[in-house]
Structure 1
Amino acid sequence: MSNPSTFKTLERQRHAITPSKTTTQFPKLAKLTDPHILSFNDLFPSGSATGLLEKGVRDIGAVVVFDGQNDTPLSGRNKLELWVSNFAIGKPYLEGARGAITTLLYPSECRERGISYKSKMQIRINWRVNGGPIQSEICGLGSLPIMVRSLKCNLDGKSPSEMVAHHEDADDFGGYFVINGIERLIRLLIVPRRNHPTAIIRPSFQKRGPTYSKFGIIMRCVLPDQSAQTITMHYCTDGEVTLRFFHKKIEYMVPVVLVMRALCNTSDFEIFERIIMGVYTNTFLIDRVELLLRSFRRYAIYNSTQALAYIGSKFAVMLDSPEDQLEVDAGLEFLRRMILVHLTDAKSKFDLLIYMLQKLYSLVSGDTAPDNPDSLQFQETLLAGHMFSALIKEKLADWLLAIKTTINMDIKKQISKLDFSDKKYIQKLFSKTSGMSDIGKKIEYFLATGNLISSSNLDLQQVSGYTIIAEKLNFYRYISHFRSIHRGAFFAELKTTTVRKLLPESWGFLCPVHTPDGSPCGLLNHLSHTCEIFLDKIDVSHIPSIVAGLGAGQFVGFGPRYNSTLSNAASNTLAENVNKSNQAILRDRDAVVDPAAEFDSRENIVMTIQLDGKVIGWGRTSVVRNIAQTLRDWKIRGINNVPLKLEIGYVPPTKGGQYPGLFLFSSPARMIRPVKYLATGDTDFIGPFEQVYMDIACMKEDVVPGITTHQEFNPTDMLSVVANLTPFSDFNQSPRNMYQCQMGKQSMGTPSQSLHHRTDNKLYRLQTGQSPIVRPNLHNDYGLDGYPNGMNAVVCVISYTGYDMEDASIIAKSSHERGYGYGTVYKGEWVDLSDFHRQGDIVTHYFGFVAWNESEPNLSEKALARALQFIDLDGLPIIGVRLTRGDPMYAFVDDVTGKVTVKEYKGMEDAYVDQVRLIGDDSGKKPLQKIHIRLRIPRPPLIGDKFSSRHGQKGVISQKWPSIDMPFSESGIIPDVIINPHAFPSRMTIGMFIESLAGKAGALHGYAQDATPFKFNEDHAAGDFFGEELRQAGFNYHGNEPMYSGITGQEFKADIYIGVVYYQRLRHMVSDKYQVRTTGPVHNLTQQPVKGRKRAGGIRFGEMERDSLLAHGVSYLLKDRLMNCSDYSQCHVCSICGSILGPIQRRAGASGDNTKDRSDGPERFEPIGRTVECLTCNTNKGIEVIAIPYVFRYLCTELVAMNIRLRLDIQHQN
């Protein structure tokens, strides 16, 4: 704190004028979007690594079709096999742009033209007939949207200077897609942790069947191509245990013993021994396992072949198996595609099912507690690239299935030309299914709407809300989108608040401050600024050998024995390393004391060791604990190639706690964060699973010798980027810090440095933004001085006038005239003349006044003269012209009729034409049909506009006070803002007091002040530190000053607290919200005014407004507000029966009452008139006219429909 920092103004200016030609100056800023970009890069091959798309293509397999009718033997039918391979995608380019300087397409051009940034993709489809030679053809799959700054983006690897040359911000970090000119991103979602069995107690499980209980084990298994298959193991009250899974949104159940028998050719006794693990004293477990095995005897299946054949016979149709496939092979395919899909060999699947059964029985008996699915310990992240991979894989499989369906339909129609050996027929199949093969269009729809259209739902719980617009309201809001992580749309609909709670397991990974208030509270969180999403490719193939060498066994000495894969040479080498490492551990730090070691019974528990959901060994408690400690020490020291970012989750045995074991995770999409390893001082990366069982000190004084193993690098590591930018947040009441995280994202700032090349529908810009005097260190690390978000204001805390009550503030009129808080709103409007003709038709409409075959415009002289005041002869608005409502904005002419159409400006506010952008096509040769007009609307601060400090102190401007009447200090300083002292006591925003002191001292000394939280404490107080700086500058130690009244010139009796505070102007402005209405549109059903400012609607008059009028003693105004000005109507009412629905108008004589007898026959009608008659009473007497709200008539009608009669008691006024 003692080293004053500079504002680096010259350095920032130099970087803006001549951006770097090598790398960005702000690597932390560029790293914010790594989870998005790196996951998207994983789709494509890199070096020797295979891309996710290619892995998915290989997993799809082949589709088999037979020609001929079903009653024909297979030997007499031809067999066609179809499969795909070699997925390829290029970089975005312009089609048909011959003669252009470059054919490469860049994101800025897509934004300005309102098109999507995408690239062509294709795949090779192969086929063969009857096992003959393979034939293939390249098929296009449409265009895939490309993530900006990914490997396939033309901006990949560009330096800041090159980014500026391509009309981007110098330090733009990408991570988003450009869809129809709009920046969109796939938001991070929380999903269950992959390949880890989670014990759940869920009452809804009992609805699965009459014997189902609330106990279950859920496991989300993820394939290498990132597609997932969730499997649930259910405990039934009749002793049976079933596996449940979904395929194509249909639920299936299968007995677990059947699956185990199919996986391994084992006996009931071996299964019994494997589950019991030698604990013969556990009678509960023994009884349940015996019951499980006895209940399976009714299937009469005794070996693996019988089990596979039985499964194949039941699931062949579900799997769409080939007609010539044996039932045993179909059973094997079922095990591969549905059961524990992350494992490839039967032994591993069998071992994991044994573990899941042990954990399930332990949960049922109450020996272990259920896992919390809302805890971050059992969660990971769904990333953009992984979502793409699973979606594209499914769409390719659907395409192959569509080809098979088309062939079967041709067979049913008995098409004579159906010949598999005819290449033209196969190519015709591809053209018939072209709608299914245009995968790019489906992906683009997904990104544009966020709606997932999927046959399987990709093992996810929601169908919408996957994508959001990357709004550039200001830079804080923009970067928050990339660090936000959502629990899921499904949980937003739940009435329970359990999922919203902030749990201790989230410490350091999710920010406890940065979550919105309101409906998304607790569901929409933000990653801590040091939290990373792990996406590196690390080699862990040697870890099982290392674990075995450290003492783990493949099995513990009873039941079935599997041969260890560890060689003697590897064992000897590892034994030496173990000895060395144990000596190092004892030398560098004390061993961790495990409370479970006090109990011999727990020391003898046999625990499993798993790596990414695969059982790689077993061991007693002491052995497993030693393995965990050794692996952690090795990974930090870099011994035996143990990866630094391997997560080592050791769960010790406890009574009634979590099920014990050692769980190693190396898979992607995990959250990790750096902490200091106290034994060596090196950096260790930990995950949320292992953090629960570690002792990590926050501050140095929190370290307990012999217990604490790690320490945080900084106390602020738990906060997100935006939460870290609140100065002195540790001095504030916690809700105020939450409010500032929201208000900081709602303030007018500098959204972009390339505003000239943006076509956003609406942009807010603060014209007079400043660099804050008081700022945390991260403000510089993220280069936020390039995107100022507010102004340094001299703030005086005084109750000076009556206009500063209720959080209102007064601003000096001179400050307002100098540009304090001056803002601008940019609005964009697209004009597309191609809407007047169909695609492919001749162009008939052109911008301008004169058709091609005419010499004069088809307009009157007066209309033309008025139009030319605002529009040039080319039909486009004049740059810089001021538009008011009703002024001509642009003009176009119909070439066929010669009719000139002049469109008027419809906005409510005056605006200036800031920019007119001409939009062409890829070739640039077609006539102009599309333009974009950007309007600039000045927004100086008005009374009622909202401002706030960075401490959640929000208020509106109540007056612009003349400077001659403002109070002034001895040095002649007039405050920019006056706020009321009552803003502080209840809010307890002491951080604002400290900022006022620090800002004043920084302004006087000319340097920036470090406002990083947790820098001060009781021994080193912030008030003393900044007070001393003020004293050195000749000012009061406490920040108070004598001030004089601007009206009388007399000194105030009390010193006034005055300092410099960074103020933000919020986007909530009176100009956008004021609403006035006399008459206007009404609702058809109720005849009451419609709502909505844009529709000229009314303001809601509710219960509180009614109470206010009653309290003011003007109750008669209620009649005016609620009826006369709302839905006043008159109607007839029958005073006899009290009905307003009974009276009805009739034509006089229509009922026959007015007919007369004549000699030549009855006279048919009297002179026509109208009368009102009550249908209920059948008389026209007692009919009165009353005034009622129209909605009351509607209420009566609704009640009659429910057989409820409403009667009015009518009395005449005296």
Structure 2
Amino acid sequence: MDVHNKWTDLPKAPSLKNLTEGRFGELKDRQHAAVQDLTKAHIQSFDQAVTDGLSRVVQAIPPLEFKYKNDRISLSFVEATIHSPSVGKGSICKELKVFPAECRGRRCSYKGKLVADVSWSVNGHPKGIIKQSLGHVPIMVKSKLCNLYNMSPKELVEHHEEAEEMGGYFIVNGIEKVIRMLIMPRRNYPIAMCRPKWKNRGQGYTQYGISMRCVKEEHTAINMNLHYLENGMVMVNFIYHKELFFLPLGFALKALVDFSDFQIYKELIKGREDNSFHKACASEMLRVVVEEGCTTRSKVLSYLGKRFRVKMNLPEWYTNEQCATYLLDECICIHLKSEVEKFYLLCLMTRKLFTFAKQECMEENCDSIMCQEVLTPGQLYLMFLKERMAAWLVSVKLSIDKRGSKLVSSWSSDNMMRIFNTGSDQSKAFEYLLATGNLNSKTGLGMLQNTGLCVVADKLNFIRYLSHFRCVHRGAAFAKMRTTSVRKLLPESWGFLCPVHTPDGEPCGLMNHMTASCEIVASSLPTTSLPALLCSLGMTPVDGSPGQAFSDCYPVVLDGAFVGWVEADLAPAVVSSLRRFKVQREKRIPPWTEIVLVPITGKASLYPGLFLFTTPCRMMRPVHNLALGQQELIGTFEQLYVNVGILEDEVEAGVTTHQEHFPHSMLSVVANFIPYSDHNQSPRNMYQCQMGKREENSESRQNIYSLPFPSDRLYIYLFSVPVN
């Protein structure tokens, strides 16, 4: 993620140098950086998906094991590569590379070959690795895999592209398609929710629950809920292959760790040791497990595996314990790798659920941007790619079952290559997704919708075109709701979502646009060194005992993992040190880290804790840190607990911690085009954002207004690009 001080070096006044310098109209050596930044969120997410993300997908796909006759076959991916678009082998041509202009003219798709190394074994004996083509997948224009990558304006024009080509879209059947960025719940964060419809899920269910959208490193997502029952019990709810399952919390806790019942009980009541009702509920949850005869972890795993294996497509030789372990890995807190980490997180969520059910903390607003992130094109692309690669393994298994007697006389590499060639081609699945915007998935990918995911990048004019890449949509499901709460402009969105750039009519408030300075995190760095750093700053590990009572300590959560406790008196100093390390690039803390300290207020406010986020797909924006005198990126949740001033006279010593780089940081790129927007009524700015996108221009890039006599004190920046 680019965090240089580009927003601090803006010109102080408008300039007419493009009209006065002698080289006006000549092709520059480099493209205009401000124009290229418009599609950066799309391109960076795709680059991350096809490089680091693809390698993680290969590691995350479990081996497919099955039995054919008397042999046990195992298939697994070792490595996968996506190649740049090129002509097929055997073609006679001067240039092997395929460029976007050719695909537009020929009405074909701009795609590259997906090649994977598949390892196969028989009865546990490795037989080798076969390099196999899985089909062609679409390539985003101007990404690292695109043949236009890093071209100069002169080279772009030679390949029949615009000198300021931005990219960020796919070409399917000659049509430019953009994957919409959608608003999703913040990943790996437990959200306290109150839903009256949850009462209909069974006898004794209440409207109180804790919801978490768990997302792995390769962006595989699953929604998990904890439900509070009238008798004080807690049920874990998860979705597996679009089916809803419920599991008593006691079974989940005992299946994860080999702790005694007393250890589990002590962990559940931390911070609420004086609450007799909570202690009785914790005892009852564990008593239910014992009454089923599950006194040890192995018995609990066997109990769960026996009941869930009918829903899992696992080999018949798997034991019940292996089936239960697979269930816990794929459905319970999937973003955590260690079962001990899952145990401690479930205990933290349970404590938060009881606090919320007793009205000791407030409900978190799912419509607030603090509880949201963005589904980027690269994330959707990677999730769908993982599912299709797993489906290819299943298609090979079906081919062996159907044609195995004809093709397999002996288990040789040549015979196996013939079988691999009968596997399903992934080209049509991706083209269908981009051409129609409809998601055809067996698992649902943790999405809230399966239609309207892609739109045509129409070039009615440049303003309409760039709006596609800065737009974030709330989701198609919310457009049918009669309530207006999802459309409200909340103060938390200041600086992240533009308050005036939204359509009028049905999509009003649902289709928003990011501000000019808002960026989306695409990169991810390992955070294995952060727990040790936190301990050096005074944090107590999760299995330790702090110097004060647990009720006087903050839980520390790092990317959805409960890592320890920090005393309330020490927490502000820890946050200050972390923020200094973040701004000054020290201690390996990523600059896009979000540091949130939710304070203990003694009232029913947000659940207190120290939350650290380094995950991708979050919205961040630059502000000026007054204490350190440097630029800092802050997130949507973090902004609630920092004091940001706009103008110099608003800065109050000891209170204001940050300051905006410029007063109009709340506006989007299109809204910044409006001259003297602060002299307009707010609806007029909204109308102008839409009217600017409806003007048909013969040129692809023009300004809205022509100012023959510009004022010498123009308080709005007109970001314009000269038409060559």
If the TM-score is normalised by the length of the shorter chain, which range does it land in? over 0.9
Deviations 1:412-456 (A, max 9, x none): xxx5876562556544533443xx2x1122111111110111111
Deviations 1:122-146 (A, max 9, x none): 2222211112232333322221111
SS at match of 1:786: coil
Deviations 1:964-993 (A, max 9, x none): xxxxxxxxxxxxxxxxxxxxxxxxxxxxxx
- Work out whether 1:548 is the aligned partner of 2:535: yes
Deviations 1:1115-1146 (A, max 9, x none): xxxxxxxxxxxxxxxxxxxxxxxxxxxxxxxx
**Alpha carbons of structure 1 residues 354 and 12: separation in structure 2 relative to 1, 3 Å:** farther
The match for 2:683 is: 735
One-letter code of the match for 2:500?
A: V
- Work out whether 1:334 is the aligned partner of 2:327: yes
> Pairwise mapping of residues 984-1063 of structure 1 onto structure 2 (< 5 A)?
none
Deviations 1:1047-1067 (A, max 9, x none): xxxxxxxxxxxxxxxxxxxxx
Aligned equivalent of 2:472, options 478, 485, 488: 485
**Alpha carbons of structure 1 residues 159 and 94: separation in structure 2 relative to 1, 3 Å:** same
Q: Distance in 2 between matches of 1:340 and 1:607?
A: 21
Gaps of 5+ in 1: 46-50, 69-76, 562-599, 754-764, 788-1214
One-letter code of the match for 2:34?
A: K
State the superposition RMSD in angstroms: 2.6
> Pairwise mapping of residues 746-825 of structure 1 onto structure 2 (< 5 A)?
746-752=694-700, 773-774=709-710, 780=718, 782-786=719-723
The match for 1:612 is: 559
Aligned equivalent of 1:20, options 19, 23, 28: 28
- Work out whether 1:534 is the aligned partner of 2:528: no
> Pairwise mapping of residues 666-745 of structure 1 onto structure 2 (< 5 A)?
666-745=614-693
The match for 2:598 is: 651
C-alpha contact 1:216 1:235 (8 A) present in aligned 2: yes
- Cα displacement (A) at 1:386: 1.1
- Work out whether 1:34 is the aligned partner of 2:40: yes
**Alpha carbons of structure 1 residues 202 and 428: separation in structure 2 relative to 1, 3 Å:** same
One-letter code of the match for 1:37?
A: I
Aligned equivalent of 1:476, options 463, 488, 507: 463
The match for 1:460 is: 447
**Alpha carbons of structure 1 residues 641 and 309: separation in structure 2 relative to 1, 3 Å:** same
Aligned equivalent of 2:16, options 7, 12, 17: 7
Q: Distance in 2 between matches of 1:529 and 1:131?
A: 56
SS at match of 1:204: helix
- Cα displacement (A) at 1:365: 0.4
The match for 1:520 is: 507
One-letter code of the match for 1:476?
A: I
> Pairwise mapping of residues 1138-1153 of structure 1 onto structure 2 (< 5 A)?
none
The match for 1:959 is: none
Q: Distance in 2 between matches of 1:81 and 1:292?
A: 40
* TM-score (normalised: structure 1): 0.56
Aligned equivalent of 2:611, options 651, 654, 663: 663
Q: Distance in 1 between matches of 2:228 and 2:180?
A: 36
- Cα displacement (A) at 1:186: 0.4
- Cα displacement (A) at 1:719: 0.5
> Pairwise mapping of residues 100-111 of structure 1 onto structure 2 (< 5 A)?
100-111=93-104
- Cα displacement (A) at 1:106: 1.0
C-alpha contact 2:675 2:716 (8 A) present in aligned 1: no
C-alpha contact 2:516 2:668 (8 A) present in aligned 1: yes
C-alpha contact 1:472 1:751 (8 A) present in aligned 2: no
**Alpha carbons of structure 1 residues 15 and 620: separation in structure 2 relative to 1, 3 Å:** same
- Work out whether 1:638 is the aligned partner of 2:585: yes
- Cα displacement (A) at 1:777: 7.3
C-alpha contact 2:43 2:142 (8 A) present in aligned 1: yes
- Work out whether 1:497 is the aligned partner of 2:498: no
**Alpha carbons of structure 1 residues 131 and 607: separation in structure 2 relative to 1, 3 Å:** same
> Which structure has the greater CA radius of gyration?
1
**Alpha carbons of structure 1 residues 494 and 129: separation in structure 2 relative to 1, 3 Å:** same
One-letter code of the match for 2:524?
A: K
- Cα displacement (A) at 1:179: 1.3
Q: Distance in 2 between matches of 1:201 and 1:4?
A: 50
The match for 1:201 is: 194
One-letter code of the match for 1:615?
A: F
The match for 1:125 is: 118
Aligned equivalent of 1:256, options 246, 249, 255: 249
Equivalences, count:
712
Q: Distance in 1 between matches of 2:374 and 2:110?
A: 26
Q: Distance in 2 between matches of 1:254 and 1:678?
A: 50
**Alpha carbons of structure 1 residues 146 and 772: separation in structure 2 relative to 1, 3 Å:** farther
The match for 1:383 is: 376
Q: Distance in 2 between matches of 1:385 and 1:167?
A: 26
C-alpha contact 1:240 1:295 (8 A) present in aligned 2: no
SS at match of 1:454: coil
* TM-score (normalised: structure 2): 0.93
- Work out whether 1:222 is the aligned partner of 2:215: yes
The match for 1:421 is: 411
C-alpha contact 1:277 1:606 (8 A) present in aligned 2: no
C-alpha contact 2:623 2:631 (8 A) present in aligned 1: yes
Deviations 1:1056-1096 (A, max 9, x none): xxxxxxxxxxxxxxxxxxxxxxxxxxxxxxxxxxxxxxxxx
Q: Distance in 2 between matches of 1:406 and 1:539?
A: 40
**Alpha carbons of structure 1 residues 320 and 473: separation in structure 2 relative to 1, 3 Å:** same
SS at match of 2:147: coil
The structure, 1 or 2, with the larger RCO (C-alpha pairs under 8 Å, 6+ apart) is 2
- Cα displacement (A) at 1:485: 0.3
SS at match of 1:315: helix
**Alpha carbons of structure 1 residues 13 and 537: separation in structure 2 relative to 1, 3 Å:** farther
**Alpha carbons of structure 1 residues 416 and 508: separation in structure 2 relative to 1, 3 Å:** closer
C-alpha contact 1:556 1:618 (8 A) present in aligned 2: no
> Pairwise mapping of residues 336-351 of structure 1 onto structure 2 (< 5 A)?
336-351=329-344
The match for 2:572 is: 625
Q: Distance in 2 between matches of 1:62 and 1:396?
A: 11
The match for 1:211 is: 204
- Cα displacement (A) at 1:331: 1.9
> Pairwise mapping of residues 879-1028 of structure 1 onto structure 2 (< 5 A)?
none
Q: Distance in 2 between matches of 1:191 and 1:311?
A: 31
- Cα displacement (A) at 1:547: 0.7
Q: Distance in 1 between matches of 2:336 and 2:232?
A: 27
SS at match of 1:610: strand
- Work out whether 1:324 is the aligned partner of 2:317: yes
Deviations 1:2-30 (A, max 9, x none): 9875423446772523x123x22x21211
Q: Distance in 2 between matches of 1:556 and 1:81?
A: 39
Aligned equivalent of 1:397, options 378, 390, 395: 390
Between 261-270 and 374-383, report the one with greater CA deviation.
Answer: 261-270
Deviations 1:268-304 (A, max 9, x none): 2222211221533223422332333333332221221
One-letter code of the match for 1:439?
A: Q
Deviations 1:142-194 (A, max 9, x none): 21111010000010001111111111111111101111111111011111111
The match for 2:437 is: 450
C-alpha contact 1:556 1:619 (8 A) present in aligned 2: no
Aligned equivalent of 2:152, options 149, 152, 159: 159
Q: Distance in 2 between matches of 1:641 and 1:778?
A: 38
SS at match of 2:25: helix
Deviations 1:76-119 (A, max 9, x none): x2111112232122111234785533221111121122221111
C-alpha contact 1:187 1:467 (8 A) present in aligned 2: yes
C-alpha contact 2:48 2:523 (8 A) present in aligned 1: no
Q: Distance in 2 between matches of 1:166 and 1:469?
A: 23
SS at match of 1:608: strand
The match for 2:4 is: none
